[in-house]
Structure 1
Amino acid sequence: MFAEIVIPLALPKNYTWEIPAHLQEGLRIGCRVEVNLGKHKKYSGIVKAIHPDKPKGFETKEILNVLDHEPVIHAWQLRFWEWLADYYMATEGEVMAAALPAHFKLSSETILVFNEEFGDDFSTLDSEEYLVAEALLMKQELRLTEVQGILDSTHVYPIVNRLMGKKVCFVWESLKEKFAPRKETFVLLEPEYSNEDRLSELLNNWSRAPKQMELLLGYLHLLKTEGEVIKASLLKKANATDAQLKGLVEKGILRTEKRSVDRIQYLPKDIHIDFTLTPAQEEAFVQVETAFVEKPVCLLHGVTSSGKTLLYIRLIEQYIRKGRQVLYMLPEIALTAQIIRRLQKYFGGHIGIYHSRFSHNERVEIWNKVKSGELKVVLGARSSLFLPYQDLGLIICDEEHDPSYKQQDPAPRYHGRDAAIYLSGLTGAKVLLGSATPSLETYHNARSGKFGLAGLTERYGDVKLPTMQLVDLRAVPRKPGEKVMFSVHLLEELKQTVARKKQAILFQNRRGYAPFHLCTVCGWIAQCEHCDVSLTFHKFSNKLKCHYCGNIYPPVLTCRGCGSDKLVQKSFGTERIEEELEQHLPDAKIARMDFDAIRNKNAHDVLIQQFEQRKIDILVGTQMVVKGLDFDNVELVGVIDADGLLHFADFRVNERAFQLMEQVSGRAGRRDGVGDVLIQTNLPNHPLLQHVLRHDYVGMFLEELDKRRQFFYPPFSRVVLLHFKHKERDVVNDAAHHFTRLMQPAYGNYLVGPAEPMVPRVRNMYLMELMLKLPRDSQLLSRCKDDIQRYTAMLHHEGKFKKVIVVPDVDAV
């Protein structure tokens, strides 16, 4: 018997291993197995298929071991992986690497073993070899990561090779299970003293060891209040020691027991719905249910603050009561903090959260709880699609328009919303897409009848939409070439808002202090050494940062071009806005929400709670403040630089700009109906801004749809974007043009490019792009993807282009 096995590597196709006779009985599809690939490397792979057909053309190796008694994934997940790999032009190994928690993806770890015969005379070794050899003598074994720590370097292979050559050590490979259940020591009362009379007699006749008595009383108090007593909590509460507890154990009064416990604490499991839907919400709810009778997907198009979340909660309640599971998807982790508190209020411990901020062990625990059906509702980012649902009934894709649902790097470059729709076909689940500003593709599908459509056109509590005003920055006095940060009108409104004890949000789509360091003498701009992009100055850390590769540089004091010290900081980011505001409004409490300010696991939640509790008057932020947050007391929203949203070379630029401005405006006046939005712009007559002023999504949609039809962009075509990368500009340029010539005969009418992208070099790799706009024909798309792979192989057979990286991105956003 043979097994097709997926291993977490980018292999073009799955490899087949032979199943030894002694493993055949226990092996099942979806189980992990230990296999050997190459000479020494071991991996844990997932069994995809078992069959009797011996592969032709190569000798199979045997499976070394079966790692699971029960499958860790379902058969439908393997079909989902296969579709993702096929549609998004990835490999199943890359999908597996993205899908499984890290502790399920084992690979062999190189271990150095000391050679006793070498002895302890290290006089022939150099200083680095000596350090490693001395550590080996003491510990006998060292992992490669430990050697890197000893030498404070990641480049340790030459040293290891020299030590092996001198017979100081040997190398072997081990495959180790990384997940370990968390253990806690519980303290229990011996059965003899569970009788109240016997316990009273013990306490009344206690004569010695007062500390032990104090510990016992502390135990009885914790037992009464919490039901179970953990050793660590008991010792802390009673201010006692291990020795005192050991004394009570030796007397036969208490005993200890180790148990596996959850790393994540869950609330009691109950359902408590304490609201009724408004007539408008009830009507939308009926529209959704009616749509689900005929169609698996429905779009809920509800204006900002219309109470879409309450409608989701009612749907979740329905599915939980049927015993089915629900996936509630959000585009970013940042949004989960506020939503989770709301859902826990209604569903308690039925709710689980899954995203990248959790530890590897925590993610394995959540994985197992979802697989067993213990967790009924999962709230998570796009990666939560990969969980092993036992009986998935509903997928809610909130803020479905958000580009964060599209994975960029590494592969698979899948779209969470579209993958959810395919997943629903495998599991029989329904999909509800929710947004105040749906993507053009989704709204087009809903209007054309492919998806169901439900509408919520009024805000919750009959609250009015905020009033929108354009502030013409052309009328604001300024120096030549200077950008205006605050108009007098915006500053005055901010002061009045704070005076009324109301709150404000300011949106600027740039983080940092100043995006440009410019020499006024020769025009030189400080740029990253590894990317063709300007460096952003971050004043808080006093560093220049590249927002593409992450490299950090010291501040520049003199021009690299002419040596002048006449450098100025141009434009502004959230950090500078925060600083300027503190000067204009010294009494206001101001905070910043962006990637730099939100660093650890709970920082975002803490900041949101402070804003909810009105400990912050003005919140300055990037797109983080735009998305789905619900604050009662926000009266004013300011869009600092609307022009920055309208000047991108992207066919979606108007759609994205409308979505961002409409979404951020929706944070204002959510409870009392008094909300103002000020949009600062140098382009007050821009057609898109007229739609924004009227909250006219449909008008924007019809106008953009007409342009998309005219220029053959989605939803009328499918876009496949090919990225070419190489460390030499001429090579990547020639490769892109050569590839285009190969594509020309069959796809000439659909090609756009090749051309350099807006940022032509990132991480020392020069870039070129080639776009294909294909008709919506699945057979043509499939043939095109096959041809791309074939032409990529042909490209790599040419010596000059061997190292050119070709990255396909299907349905690029």
Structure 2
Amino acid sequence: MNRFADVVLPLPLYKYFTYRIPADWQQPLSPGSRVVVPFGRKKYYTAIVVRLHDVTPQGYEVKEILSLLDERPVLRRPQLQFWEWIADYYLCSVGDVYKAALPSGLKLESETTVTLNTEFEEPDDDRLKEREWMLLAALSKKPRMTVQELEKESGMHNLLPTLRLLLEREAVFVSEQIKAHYRPKTETYVRLTFAPGDEAALRHAFERVKQAKKQEVMLLSFLDLSHFMQLGKLCEVSRKSLLDRSGVSSAVLGAMVEKGLFETYKKEISRFDTATLPVGEIAPLSELQQTAYRQILDSFKEHAVTLLHGVTSSGKTEIYAHLIQRVLDGGRQVLYLVPEIALTTQLTNRLRKMFGDKLVIYHSKFSDNERVEIWNTLLNDRSPRLVLGVRSSIFLPFADLGLVIVDEEHETSYKQYDPAPRYHARNAAIVLASMHGAKTLLGTATPAIETYFNARQGKYGLVELKHRFNDVELPQIIPVDVKEMRRKNRMQGNFTPELINRMQTALQEGEQVILFQNRRGFAPMVECKQCAWVPKCEHCDVSLTYHKRYNQLTCHYCGYTYEIPKVCPACGQPTIGVMGFGTERIEEDIARLFPGVPVSRMDLDTTRSRNAYEQIIDDFSKGKNKILIGTQMITKGLDFDHVSVVGILSADQMMNFPDFRAHERAFQMMEQVSGRAGRKNRNGVVVLQTSDPSSPLIQQVMAHDYEGMYNRQLAERKAFSYPPYTRLIYVYLKHRDETLLQELAVRYTTALREVFGARVLGPDNPPVARIQSLYIRKVMLKMELAASMSRVKEILRQVYENMLVDDRFKSLLLYYDVDPL
């Protein structure tokens, strides 16, 4: 008889906790089920059962589980095993993974509630203060409120000190109340009060509404919608559809309910469009695509992971579709990962036409209730489905994965930065697939160097598609020397004459243009032209970006905004000006250079709402806008039929970033955005503005020479022991006191060197050494590929625990980033 359950809590704690199963509990308990447990003082959390046993824990009093939330587990095999792998590899707790994996609606939380003591009497010798009376007055309107509700009702802020005083006087009580987030969506439905086939009751119903024409219309409308007179199953009729069909008011329906002809009931419905869609044919593959398709299937016989290296516009999506159909026909599920929500817009339409309602979409722009509904759909249905989603989709409860596709596998968007777990969805998806016995296909025109290295070494299979669909030529790339154009005073704002001429020609011919600048805002920096003063964020060590639309300076790290000073605070002169340019300034320049030409901008500032991506992409696809300006969002596999010119406005900015991956990333972004030009039987042109046209990287981009870039970068990484020849782990230490941080960081690094030796580098200041008032130090570990991550994690934890003998170390924030990008 199992008497105890080990559970995982949604907290950054590195162990499981044991709770007693109540002796009188009749409900069956199984791993993967949610239970409510007490933890700490007056706190309750939703925990997930990991294992059941009868071993009594020693050394502390075991608390009891309070309640079971599920009739059946919310996790499938092998999700718990997958969570443990992520925690082990990425050096975090399983609680961190739990928080990231489960939608918030499936996690109950403890919420502080304040209750009025109706028997409280104010003592004569200790009168209440004004704020205390105001709080009690607010509580008298509704004797039980959360702190948040109380703030709203009273119009007061910072209530906790006042609440503490009222608690001491016993004027109020504080309790913890379990709050459930997820609420199923319901809709009102209507039915007749008699059964189908009861002709006498139906005749009687018509007799009763004969004198009320609107009621008669509603009755006829109901019979039509419900197929009441037809043989077979009745259709359920919603209140809304009945009112729409009959064209009469809800008062008429109310009258018929009072007569006892109709009755209403609530029904749980889906938040998504569940209409059955017609499924079209998947387009046949070209000869080259068919060859690649067969090679992938052959590769899967030998390798669990295969890389499809296909140039831009080579038709990789069509190959994916045939592979997906093959797996669905076999009764298994498919996960199709994309790096950005922006990609799901176009892909959804294409895949919906091919796979109909087998397609499920999952991303963070959905509401929490929608995410819970998708989770429950996959949990309760084992049928073959295609899930299209971003990185968090790897945590969904798949029943039987047969294939995982990671599109644009080189993209940095697959890496989670904050908070933990700092996982890479591509690498995690490969492990997830192996746990299901599934195959993984990585697709891209510009593979990550580590991925291509694995393929060349034989660890992954490799299939190459070197020609565009229908043999459309790769775009011609024209480098333009910006430095020379500025010297000759031929620049128009931030545009060279070559780019302007190409754009004019394209627009005159009814074509479209894409302009790429990987920096949002109006200007990346504001500077005093007299004394070179630059405004910095008060909380972060970064210069502020000017956003002209809001006429304010913004920190892109913490989001804090500042007013632009009219005079320089350093020298007192009104000589503050902008330097550089972002997407917002490009938009303004285009309006001046091409008046009347419709323009759209796609960056983080314009795509904050759920439908913003779709609207921008849809408008551009339909030709409503002729010029699209964007950051790296526009490099990610979008497919537009009428783009003939692409402008890369500042190649040097990407190349000169202080990071060993800078040239790899710059090549990938420039090659990807170039691929947007010249599709559908049309050769395109890319104008690449740079201060150094002779740079080896620029020459490689011009020649579309991925191999040249790969070989050059690989040689450098081998010489300096960077991935793929080593595994990197960054350790970040943060504190508000910079002097204390530096001292503790040096001590910590010294302790690491005693174990790891020369593998430890640092502590160093990262490029941005203070964010949100926290100073940062970074320590780098270069570990051999054969090193056991479990053993490394154990050593790192031991070193950290040894440092805790110094109490000052407890105030330090420390975390790890494995395989950083």
TM range (shorter): over 0.9
Q: TM-score of the superposition, structure 1-length normalised?
A: 0.96
RMSD: 2.4
For residues 206 and 23 of structure 1, do their structure 2 counterparts lie closer, same or farther at Cα, with a shift above 3 Å needed? closer
Residue type of the alignment partner of 1:101: P
User: Contact (CA 8 Å) 2:210, 2:216: kept in 1 or not?
Assistant: no
Partner of 1:313, secondary structure, is helix
Residue type of the alignment partner of 1:13: K
Tell me, in whole angstroms, the C-alpha distance in 1 between the residues paired with 2:122 and 2:83: 52
User: Contact (CA 8 Å) 2:221, 2:246: kept in 1 or not?
Assistant: yes
Residue type of the alignment partner of 1:109: E
Partner residue, 1:584: 593
Deviation at 1:789, TM superposition (A): 1.6
Tell me, in whole angstroms, the C-alpha distance in 1 between the residues paired with 2:708 and 2:693: 18
1:593-612 → structure 2 map (5 Å cutoff): 593-612=602-621
For residues 254 and 553 of structure 1, do their structure 2 counterparts lie closer, same or farther at Cα, with a shift above 3 Å needed? same
1:457-468 → structure 2 map (5 Å cutoff): 457-468=466-477
User: Contact (CA 8 Å) 1:466, 1:673: kept in 2 or not?
Assistant: no
Deviation digits for residues 440-484 of structure 1, max 9, x if unmatched?
A: 00111111110111111111122111111101112213699x996
Partner residue, 1:260: 268
Partner residue, 1:37: 39
1:335-414 → structure 2 map (5 Å cutoff): 335-372=343-380, 373-374=382-383, 376-414=385-423
Residue type of the alignment partner of 2:575: K
- Alignment partner of 2:23 out of 1, 9, 21: 21
The answer to which of 246-255 and 709-718 deviates more is: 246-255
Is 1:126 the counterpart of 2:134? The answer is no
Partner residue, 1:799: 807
1:280-295 → structure 2 map (5 Å cutoff): 280-295=288-303
- Alignment partner of 1:648 out of 636, 657, 660: 657
Deviation digits for residues 530-564 of structure 1, max 9, x if unmatched?
A: 01111111111122110000111122212121222
The answer to which of 183-192 and 304-313 deviates more is: 183-192
Deviation digits for residues 717-738 of structure 1, max 9, x if unmatched?
A: 0000111111121111122211
User: Contact (CA 8 Å) 1:796, 1:804: kept in 2 or not?
Assistant: no
Deviation at 1:587, TM superposition (A): 2.4
Residue type of the alignment partner of 1:47: V
Tell me, in whole angstroms, the C-alpha distance in 1 between the residues paired with 2:278 and 2:435: 29
Partner of 1:318, secondary structure, is helix
Tell me, in whole angstroms, the C-alpha distance in 1 between the residues paired with 2:728 and 2:157: 40
Tell me, in whole angstroms, the C-alpha distance in 1 between the residues paired with 2:697 and 2:200: 81
For residues 281 and 235 of structure 1, do their structure 2 counterparts lie closer, same or farther at Cα, with a shift above 3 Å needed? same
User: Contact (CA 8 Å) 2:583, 2:629: kept in 1 or not?
Assistant: yes
User: Contact (CA 8 Å) 1:528, 1:535: kept in 2 or not?
Assistant: yes
Partner residue, 2:94: 92
Is 1:808 the counterpart of 2:800? The answer is no
Deviation digits for residues 754-801 of structure 1, max 9, x if unmatched?
A: 21111111100111111111111133x433322222222233322343
Residue type of the alignment partner of 2:358: H
Residue type of the alignment partner of 1:39: R
- Alignment partner of 2:523 out of 514, 523, 530: 514
User: Contact (CA 8 Å) 2:282, 2:322: kept in 1 or not?
Assistant: no
Partner residue, 1:5: 7
User: Contact (CA 8 Å) 1:369, 1:375: kept in 2 or not?
Assistant: no
Unaligned runs of 5+ in 1: none
User: Contact (CA 8 Å) 1:507, 1:622: kept in 2 or not?
Assistant: yes
For residues 330 and 126 of structure 1, do their structure 2 counterparts lie closer, same or farther at Cα, with a shift above 3 Å needed? farther
For residues 152 and 510 of structure 1, do their structure 2 counterparts lie closer, same or farther at Cα, with a shift above 3 Å needed? farther
Partner of 1:212, secondary structure, is helix
- Alignment partner of 2:463 out of 454, 475, 481: 454
The answer to which of 433-442 and 288-297 deviates more is: 288-297
1:621-632 → structure 2 map (5 Å cutoff): 621-632=630-641
Residue type of the alignment partner of 2:625: I
Tell me, in whole angstroms, the C-alpha distance in 2 between the residues paired with 1:66 and 1:274: 46
The answer to which of 199-208 and 244-253 deviates more is: 199-208
Give % identity.
Answer: 43
Deviation at 1:220, TM superposition (A): 5.0
Partner of 2:804, secondary structure, is helix
Residue type of the alignment partner of 2:689: Q
Residue type of the alignment partner of 1:212: Q
Tell me, in whole angstroms, the C-alpha distance in 1 between the residues paired with 2:127 and 2:227: 67
The answer to which of 732-741 and 202-211 deviates more is: 202-211
Is 1:720 the counterpart of 2:721? The answer is no
Tell me, in whole angstroms, the C-alpha distance in 2 between the residues paired with 1:398 and 1:218: 49
Partner residue, 2:256: 248
Partner of 2:689, secondary structure, is strand
User: Contact (CA 8 Å) 1:184, 1:259: kept in 2 or not?
Assistant: yes
Deviation at 1:287, TM superposition (A): 1.0
1:151-170 → structure 2 map (5 Å cutoff): 155-170=158-173
Tell me, in whole angstroms, the C-alpha distance in 1 between the residues paired with 2:496 and 2:777: 40
Tell me, in whole angstroms, the C-alpha distance in 2 between the residues paired with 1:194 and 1:125: 72
The answer to which of 35-44 and 153-162 deviates more is: 153-162
The answer to which of 647-656 and 194-203 deviates more is: 194-203
User: Contact (CA 8 Å) 1:505, 1:638: kept in 2 or not?
Assistant: yes
Is 1:275 the counterpart of 2:288? The answer is no
Partner of 2:293, secondary structure, is helix
For residues 44 and 198 of structure 1, do their structure 2 counterparts lie closer, same or farther at Cα, with a shift above 3 Å needed? closer
Partner residue, 2:214: 211
For residues 153 and 650 of structure 1, do their structure 2 counterparts lie closer, same or farther at Cα, with a shift above 3 Å needed? farther
Deviation digits for residues 237-257 of structure 1, max 9, x if unmatched?
A: 545333210222344543323
Partner residue, 2:231: none
For residues 769 and 153 of structure 1, do their structure 2 counterparts lie closer, same or farther at Cα, with a shift above 3 Å needed? farther
Deviation digits for residues 253-293 of structure 1, max 9, x if unmatched?
A: 43323211111113416643241011111111111111111
Partner of 1:23, secondary structure, is coil
Tell me, in whole angstroms, the C-alpha distance in 1 between the residues paired with 2:686 and 2:203: 70
Partner of 1:389, secondary structure, is coil
User: Contact (CA 8 Å) 1:505, 1:620: kept in 2 or not?
Assistant: yes
Partner of 1:544, secondary structure, is strand
Partner of 1:797, secondary structure, is coil
Tell me, in whole angstroms, the C-alpha distance in 2 between the residues paired with 1:479 and 1:13: 66
Is 1:136 the counterpart of 2:136? The answer is no
Partner of 1:494, secondary structure, is helix
The answer to which of 105-114 and 27-36 deviates more is: 105-114
Deviation at 1:161, TM superposition (A): 1.3
User: Contact (CA 8 Å) 2:139, 2:150: kept in 1 or not?
Assistant: no
Deviation at 1:55, TM superposition (A): 1.8
Tell me, in whole angstroms, the C-alpha distance in 2 between the residues paired with 1:143 and 1:433: 49
Partner of 2:712, secondary structure, is helix
- Alignment partner of 2:751 out of 721, 739, 742: 742
Partner of 1:504, secondary structure, is strand
User: Contact (CA 8 Å) 1:465, 1:673: kept in 2 or not?
Assistant: no
Residue type of the alignment partner of 1:682: S
Deviation at 1:215, TM superposition (A): 3.3
Tell me, in whole angstroms, the C-alpha distance in 2 between the residues paired with 1:546 and 1:151: 33
Deviation at 1:598, TM superposition (A): 1.0
User: Contact (CA 8 Å) 2:209, 2:215: kept in 1 or not?
Assistant: no
1:455-534 → structure 2 map (5 Å cutoff): 455-477=464-486, 485-534=494-543
Residue type of the alignment partner of 2:695: H
Tell me, in whole angstroms, the C-alpha distance in 1 between the residues paired with 2:526 and 2:307: 45
Q: TM-score of the superposition, structure 2-length normalised?
A: 0.95
User: Contact (CA 8 Å) 1:131, 1:150: kept in 2 or not?
Assistant: no
User: Contact (CA 8 Å) 2:337, 2:404: kept in 1 or not?
Assistant: yes
User: Contact (CA 8 Å) 1:473, 1:484: kept in 2 or not?
Assistant: no
> How many residues are treated as equivalent by the alignment?
811
Tell me, in whole angstroms, the C-alpha distance in 2 between the residues paired with 1:522 and 1:324: 66
User: Contact (CA 8 Å) 1:393, 1:430: kept in 2 or not?
Assistant: yes
Partner residue, 1:637: 646
Deviation at 1:114, TM superposition (A): 1.3
For residues 65 and 687 of structure 1, do their structure 2 counterparts lie closer, same or farther at Cα, with a shift above 3 Å needed? same
Partner residue, 2:119: 117
Is 1:675 the counterpart of 2:677? The answer is no
Partner residue, 2:55: 53
1:757-772 → structure 2 map (5 Å cutoff): 757-772=766-781
For residues 575 and 197 of structure 1, do their structure 2 counterparts lie closer, same or farther at Cα, with a shift above 3 Å needed? farther
User: Contact (CA 8 Å) 2:331, 2:383: kept in 1 or not?
Assistant: no
